[in-house]
Amino acid sequence: MTWLRANADRLDYIHFKDIDLGIYRRVMGERIRFFDACAKGVMCPIGKGVIDYPAIRRLLDEIDHQGYITIEQERDPRNAAGSLADVKQSLDYLKSVGF
C-alpha cells in the first residue's frame, strides 16, 4: 500500500481479484500453468481470500480515488459454471465493506 500511496497520482483504474492462500502455495509448488491453477480454485471470490479490502477502501478514501474499479473472477475457461455467482458474491462483499 505504500507504493500505491506514493503513486496515487498515476492511478487510472483498479483491478480487483482475491487469492486463496492455501491453494496459491500449493500450485506455486507444483509450478503449473495459470489456468490450471485457476481450475484448482486459486482465484476465489473477493472477500474469501487474503486481500484486505477494508484497508484498500480506507486507502482509496485517503488518496481520494475517483476512478473505476473492475472486478474479475479468474476461472479456467473450460469450467466457467459458477462465474456469475462468484462475481455477485464478490460485489456483495465489496458493497458490505463500503465500495
- Given a cut of 80, whether residue 98 has pLDDT beyond it is yes
Question: Which residue ranges make up each domain of the chain?
Answer: 2-96
What pLDDT does residue 47 have?
96
Per-residue model confidence as pLDDT tens digits over 67-91: 999 998 877 777 777 788 888 999 9
Per-residue model confidence as pLDDT tens digits over 11-59: 888 999 999 999 999 999 998 988 889 888 899 999 999 999 999 999 9
Q: How confident is the model at residue 62 (pLDDT cuts 50, 70, 90)?
A: very high
Round to whole Å and give the CA distance between 42 and 28: 10
Round to whole Å and give the CA distance between 37 and 73: 13
Residue type, 39: A
What is the value of pTM for the model shown?
0.83
Q: Which residues of 35-60 are buried (b: 16+ CB within 10 A; e: fewer)?
A: eebbbbbbbbbbbbbeeebeebeebb
What pLDDT does residue 78 have?
74
